[in-house]
Amino acid sequence: MAALRIQSDWSRALRDEGEAWLSCRCPGKPTLYGSVTRRGLSSEGIPDIAASEGFLVQEVTKKSILISCPHENVSTKFLAPYTTFSRIHQKSITCLDISSGGGLGVSTSTDGTMKIWQAANGEIRRLLEGHVYDVNCCRFFPSGLVVLSGGMDAQLKIWSAEDASCVVTFKGHKGGILDTAIVDRGRNVLSCSRDGTARLWDCGKSACLGVIADCGSPVNGIAVGTADDSLNLGAPENPPSEREIGTEGKILLLAREDKKLQGVGLQSRQPVFLFVGSDAFNCCTFLSSTYILAGTQDGNIYQLDVRNTNAPIQVIHRSGAPVLSLLPYQDGFIASQGDGTCFILQQDLDYVLDLTEADCDPVYKVASWEKEIYTCCRDGIVRRYQLSDL
């Protein structure tokens, strides 16, 4: 698909210099270049913007600009952040999540810290200390009061968001933990690791309930979801432990370094499908009980039907940069990539929504709460976008 790009700091550039560059890249064709120029302000304080030849400005607000390239039949709405938080961490922010009520954020950084902060203003509330080396991933439990984290120290930890105490530590992985998932309300959790395994854990007993898959290759990302009724998940070889809560009828997706996307019955531990992609898979998610998405190191986003994974429904490719994060959003999804792009595709929109200002710094993770979207980036900034601005 064709990809429209705009100068990362376009909103400031149009305010200060009065001009920002544009490009439209379509695979296999020469890139089209142009610019948008500010001619003044309307009586409502909205910039009056014009585009160079080959591009059209269709709509402008204080925080967004809708531009089309008729030659490639592509339209993109570029959205500037509502606010940015630059003081939460000192270095790259590798992961973040927002609590179910929208009040708190949690993030991890290459500065070695994991912090809980106010989602509204970025004010730091708690410092979560206890991992050795970098913390790779963090997420809130559905309650919004508890955090799950995984680190390069091969430890999985559960924390109280209220007093920052570490209430459980799980040990068993032989390599750094790369991603986690929570089953239902969180009596069981999942993790995947550089050691090639995905494991199921019992939070109440601080115990490993089993190795769900041993892939022989690092597992970069996982996702758990309810499987379509018609899908055969297989039967467990042994009766499941009574400590397993909510695993029946679930499928676990594994985004593997060896270019494979795997589906495994969570309770049965049996393989359901194996799809081979173009490069290492970095992340995966469920759009529904039938449709899944997975992103690769070479910039492909595969949409698959779990009932028949022989061929993808579609492959979305906007650039060759690694796909780092995928998140279901309304009737579509949000994707972020290693070249600073972060975009939303929705079925009911005839344009792509591009979340701007990360420049060329990788956007490692995206989280959402209602109409607010948060991104974290190598530049150490958390950006908060308000889709209600649209």
Residues 186-238 pLDDT 10s: 999 999 999 999 999 999 999 999 999 999 999 999 999 999 999 999 999 99
Between 62 and 154, name the one with better pLDDT.
Answer: 154
Measured in degrees and rounded to the nearest 5, phi and psi for residue 197 equal: -110, 155
Q: Cβ(390)–Cβ(373) under 8 Å?
A: no
pTM (predicted TM-score):
0.95
Smallest Cα–Cα separation from 221: which of 136, 134, 340, 115? 136
Residues 255-293 pLDDT 10s: 999 999 999 999 999 999 999 999 999 999 999 999 999
pLDDT at 389: 61
Q: What are 337's two structure tokens? A: 């990539």
Q: What are 169's two structure tokens? A: 């530590």
Residues 175-187 pLDDT 10s: 999 999 999 999 9
Residues 118-127 pLDDT 10s: 999 999 999 9
Residues 313-355 pLDDT 10s: 999 999 999 999 999 999 999 999 999 999 999 987 889 999 9
The beta-strand segments (E) located in 277-322 are: 281-286, 291-296, 300-305, 314-317
The secondary structure of 319-335 as a DSSP string is -SSPEEEEEEETTEEEE
Alpha carbon of residue 12 to chain centroid: 26
Q: For 87-386, which CATH superfamily applies?
A: YVTN repeat-like/Quinoprotein amine dehydrogenase (2.130.10.10)
Number of CB atoms found within 10 A of residue 58's CB: 12
Q: In what order do the strands lie in the sheet with 32-41?
A: 3-6, 19-25, 32-41, 47-51
User: Which strand (E) or helix (H) includes residue 191?
Assistant: strand 188-193
In the chain, what are the domain boundaries?
A: 3-79, 87-386
pLDDT at 280: 98
Arithmetic mean of pLDDT over the chain: 95
Residue 18: is its pLDDT beyond 90?
A: no
Rg (Cα) of the chain, in Å, rounded?
21
